[in-house]
C-alpha cells in the first residue's frame, strides 16, 4: 500500500513540474543609461518570448542560452524584429531553439526617451548609440540576469556594433569576452571607414543639408500626422513628396528648409495637421522610391547620425581598425548581404567590409539573392530570410543548450529514481516474506 502511495505522489509531482509556465512578451525600462558623461536616457527593451515547447519549461536563467539580443537600424525601433522573432519561435531552421529576442530601442526610438542633461536629439551620434548598447547590455546582465548568447544587428545597428567592438578592442577585450556571446551576426550593416562606400558617393558629392532633411520626418502609424524631429519652417505636402521622390536631386528642391537641430531645442516632436490628400494611399514606391520602400514605418532619426553614415560635412564616417572581429575566440562572426539592397548597395561592398573586419576562421559571409532580398527582408518576408540563411550556412543561435535540466526533466529524473527505490523495496519484501 505504501508503494502505491509513493507512486501516486510521484506521478502527481511530475504533473505539477511538467505543467507549462505562461510566458508573454514584455518590456523593460532601463533608467538613466549613459550616452556620454552627464547625458542619460531611459531605454526601452522589448522582450519577445517564445510561448511554445521547451521554452515554456526552462528557467529565465537557462533561457539566456536560447536568447538573441537585437539592435535596429535607422528610422526603425525594436518592433522591426517582431515578425522575425515569431518566425524563429515557430521554426528556426538556422540552429537551436530560440526562446527570446531581446530588442533595444535606441534613444528617441520606439518607447525609449530623449536624452537628458543637455544633449539635443539632433546631436546624438553613433558613438552615443554605441555607449547606450554597451551600457544596456551591462545593466541587463548585472541587474536583470539577462545574458543573451547571440547578438544580431541590422543596417546602422551594424555600424553601431562596429564602434562597440572598436571601443572594446581599444580596451584590450572583445564583445564575445565581455558578454559571453557565441554568435555575432550583421544583417546588411552600414559600412565603416576606411572601407569605401561608393554606393553613397552621390550624397557626398551633393553635400547639401537638404539631403539630411529628407530623412527627418516620419509618418505616424495611422498616417494621420507627421512627426518632425526639428522644426523645418513652412513645409507643404507637395514639398515632401518632391523631396521623397528625389532625395539626391542636384537641383535643390528644398532650399527654404531650416534643418539645423543643433540650434533648435527639441522638447517634443512637431505635429503637422493631416495631409489634405490621402498620402498613405499612395504606394510607398511612389512616395519614397525604391530606396524608401525598403523601410517599414520610419521613426525619427538624429540628423547627425544620418550624416555620419555617408560622411556628409561636417560629420565624418566612423573609423574602425582592420580585423577587429578576427580576434574573437569564443564567438562566430557572420555578415549577411542582400542582392537587391537599395540602401547599402551591391553585395561586393559588404564583402569588402567583411574582409576589413575579420581574417579569422570563426567567420562567415553570405549573400541572399532573389527579388525579395531587399534591405528589410527579415521584416517583410522573415521565412524567406531564414531560408536564405540556411542556404548560406548562417546560424543565428547555437544548437539548443540547456545549462540545467528543465522542470519536466527534473520531474522525470525524480520519478525514475523513486520508482527504482520502490522496486527495490518490493523485491526486498518478497525475499523477506519467502
Question: Is residue 107 within 8 Å of 29, Cβ to Cβ?
Answer: no
Cell digits for 278?
Answer: 490621402
Q: How far is CA 77 from CA 29, 48, 158, 208, in A?
A: 15, 14, 14, 27
Cell digits for 91?
Answer: 521554426
CATH number of 23-197+317-391: 3.40.50.1820
377 SS3 class: helix
d(CA 159, CA 129): 10
Nearest to 296 by CA among 237, 381, 199: 381
Q: How far is CA 229 from CA 44, 247, 287, 300, 420, in A?
A: 19, 18, 20, 6, 69
Element (H, E) at 68: strand 67-71
Q: Hey, which bits of 313-424 come out as E strands? A: 332-338, 363-368
Cell digits for 235?
Answer: 513645409
Long-range CB contacts (< 8 A, 24+ apart) of 204-211?
204/310, 204/311, 204/312, 206/248, 206/250, 207/312, 207/313, 208/252, 209/257, 209/259, 209/260, 210/243, 210/252, 210/253, 210/254, 210/255, 210/257, 210/259, 211/247, 211/248, 211/312
Cell digits for 118?
Answer: 543637455
d(CA 45, CA 273): 31
Residue-by-residue pLDDT tens, the chain, 434 positions: 444 443 333 333 333 333 333 447 999 999 999 999 999 999 999 999 998 768 877 777 778 889 999 999 987 899 999 999 999 999 899 888 899 999 999 998 889 988 899 887 778 899 999 999 999 999 999 999 999 999 999 999 999 999 999 999 999 999 999 999 999 999 999 999 999 998 777 666 654 433 333 333 433 333 333 344 333 333 444 444 444 443 333 333 222 233 333 333 333 333 333 333 333 333 333 333 333 344 444 566 776 787 788 887 778 999 999 999 998 877 899 999 999 988 898 999 999 999 999 987 889 999 999 988 999 899 989 999 999 999 999 999 886 444 444 445 555 556 656 666 766 666 666 656 65
Q: How far is CA 207 from CA 249, 305, 349, in A?
A: 11, 15, 21
- Compute how many other C-beta atoms are within 10 angstroms of the C-beta atom of residue 399: 8
Element (H, E) at 36: strand 26-36
- Residue 208 confidence (pLDDT): 41
- Residue 120 confidence (pLDDT): 75
d(CA 341, CA 286): 18
Element (H, E) at 115: none
Q: Which residues contact 285 (CB under 8 A, 6 or more apart)?
A: 293
Q: Hey, which bits of 129-246 come out as E strands? A: 150-154, 183-187, 217-219, 226-228
- Residue 23 confidence (pLDDT): 47
- Residue 408 confidence (pLDDT): 52
- Residue 343 confidence (pLDDT): 84
Amino acid at each position: 500500500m505504501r508503494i502505491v502511495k509513493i507512486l501516486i505522489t510521484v506521478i502527481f509531482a511530475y504533473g505539477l513540474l511538467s505543467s507549462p509556465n505562461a510566458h508573454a512578451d514584455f518590456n523593460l525600462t532601463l533608467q538613466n543609461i549613459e550616452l556620454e558623461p552627464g547625458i542619460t536616457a531611459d531605454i526601452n527593451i522589448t522582450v519577445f518570448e517564445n510561448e511554445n515547447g521547451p521554452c515554456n519549461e526552462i528557467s529565465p536563467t537557462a533561457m539566456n542560452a536560447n536568447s538573441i539580443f537585437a539592435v535596429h537600424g535607422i528610422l526603425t525601433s525594436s518592433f522591426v524584429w517582431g515578425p522575425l522573432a515569431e518566425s524563429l519561435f515557430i521554426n528556426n531552421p538556422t540552429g537551436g531553439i530560440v526562446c527570446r529576442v531581446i530588442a533595444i530601442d535606441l534613444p528617441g526610438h520606439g518607447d525609449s526617451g530623449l536624452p537628458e542633461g543637455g544633449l539635443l536629439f539632433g546631436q546624438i551620434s553613433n558613438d552615443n548609440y554605441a555607449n547606450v548598447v554597451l551600457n544596456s547590455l551591462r545593466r541587463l546582465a548585472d541587474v536583470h540576469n539577462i545574458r543573451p548568447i547571440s547578438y544580431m544587428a541590422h543596417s546602422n545597428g551594424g555600424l553601431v556594433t562596429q564602434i562597440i567592438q572598436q571601443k572594446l578592442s581599444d580596451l584590450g577585450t572583445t564583445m564575445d569576452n565581455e558578454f559571453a556571446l557565441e554568435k555575432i551576426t550583421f544583417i546588411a550593416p552600414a559600412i565603416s571607414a576606411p572601407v569605401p562606400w561608393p554606393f553613397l558617393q552621390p550624397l557626398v558629392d551633393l553635400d547639401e543639408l537638404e539631403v539630411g532633411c529628407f530623412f527627418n520626418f516620419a509618418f505616424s502609424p495611422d498616417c494621420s500626422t507627421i512627426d518632425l524631429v526639428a522644426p523645418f519652417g513652412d513645409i507643404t505636402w507637395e514639398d515632401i513628396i518632391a523631396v521623397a521622390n528625389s532625395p539626391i536631386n542636384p537641383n535643390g528642391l528644398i532650399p527654404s528648409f531650416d534643418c539645423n537641430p543643433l540650434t533648435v531645442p527639441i522638447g517634443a516632436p512637431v505635429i503637422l495637421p493631416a495631409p489634405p490628400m490621402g498620402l498613405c494611399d499612395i504606394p510607398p514606391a511612389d512616395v519614397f522610391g525604391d530606396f524608401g520602400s525598403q523601410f517599414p514605418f520610419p521613426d525619427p532619426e538624429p540628423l547627425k547620425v544620418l550624416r555620419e553614415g555617408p560622411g556628409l560635412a561636417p560629420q565624418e564616417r566612423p573609423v574602425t581598425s582592420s580585423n577587429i572581429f578576427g580576434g574573437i575566440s569564443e564567438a562566430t562572426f557572420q555578415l549577411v548581404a542582400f542582392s537587391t539592397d537599395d540602401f547599402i548597395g551591391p553585395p561586393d561592398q559588404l564583402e569588402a567590409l567583411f574582409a576589413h573586419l575579420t581574417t579569422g576562421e570563426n567567420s562567415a559571409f553570405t549573400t541572399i539573392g532573389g527579388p525579395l532580398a531587399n534591405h528589410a527582408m527579415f521584416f517583410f518576408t522573415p521565412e524567406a530570410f531564414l531560408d536564405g540563411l540556411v542556404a548560406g550556412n548562417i546560424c543565428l543561435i547555437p544548437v539548443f543548450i540547456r545549462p540545467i535540466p528543465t522542470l519536466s526533466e527534473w520531474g522525470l529524473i525524480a520519478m525514475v529514481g523513486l520508482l527504482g527505490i520502490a522496486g527495490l523495496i518490493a523485491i526486498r519484501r518478497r525475499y523477506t516474506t519467502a
